[in-house]
Chains A and B, each alone.
Chain A
Amino acid sequence: AQKITQTQPGMFVQEKEAVTLDCTYDTSDQSYGLFWYKQPSSGEMIFLIYQGSYDEQNATEGRYSLNFQKARKSANLVISASQLGDSAMYFCAMSPITGANSKLTFGKGITLSVRP
Chain B
Amino acid sequence: GAVVSQHPSRVICKSGTSVKIECRSLDFQATTMFWYRQFPKQSLMLMATSNEGSKATYEQGVEKDKFLINHASLTLSTLTVTSAHPEDSSFYICSAKQGWNEQFFGPGTRLTVL
Interface residues in A90-105 (C-beta closer than 8 Å to B): 91, 97, 99-104
Q: Which of A42, A44, A50, A109 contacts B105 (CB 8 A)?
A: A44
Determine if A101 and B51 form an interchain contact, defined as CB atoms under 8 angstroms apart.
Answer: yes
User: Is there a chain B Cβ closer than 8 Å to A45's Cβ?
Assistant: yes
Q: Which of B44, B51, B103, B104 contacts A91 (CB 8 A)?
A: B44
Number of B residues near A (Cβ < 8 Å) is 26
With contact pairs A44-B107, A44-B108, A109-B43 given, residues A100 and B32 touching in the complex (Cβ less than 8 Å)? yes
Provide the bound-state CA to CA distance between A106 and B105, in Å: 14
With contact pairs A50-B102, A100-B31 given, residues A43 and B43 touching in the complex (Cβ less than 8 Å)? no
Give the shortest distance, in Å, between B79 (CB) and chain A (any CB): 16
Interface residues in A17-69 (C-beta closer than 8 Å to B): 35, 37, 42-45, 47, 50
Give the shortest distance, in Å, between A8 (CB) and chain B (any CB): 14
Give the shortest distance, in Å, between A26 (CB) and chain B (any CB): 16
Interface residues in B40-91 (C-beta closer than 8 Å to A): 41-44, 46, 49, 51, 57, 91
Give the shortest distance, in Å, between A2 (CB) and chain B (any CB): 12
Instruction: Report B-chain residues with C-beta under 8 Å of the C-beta of A97.
Output: 100
Give the shortest distance, in Å, between A23 (CB) and chain B (any CB): 12
Give the shortest distance, in Å, between B62 (CB) and chain A (any CB): 13
Determine if B43 and A108 form an interchain contact, defined as CB atoms under 8 angstroms apart.
Answer: yes
Q: Which of A43, A102, A108, A109 contacts B91 (CB 8 A)?
A: A43
Mark A residues whose CB is within 8 Å of B. 35, 37, 42-45, 47, 50, 91, 97, 99-104, 106-109, 111
- List 9 extra interface pairs beyond A37-B105, A45-B105, CB under 8 A: A43-B93, A44-B107, A45-B108, A91-B44, A97-B100, A100-B99, A101-B32, A109-B42, A109-B43
List 8 tightest A-B contacts by C-beta distance, closest first: A45-B105, A43-B108, A108-B43, A44-B107, A106-B43, A106-B44, A100-B32, A100-B31
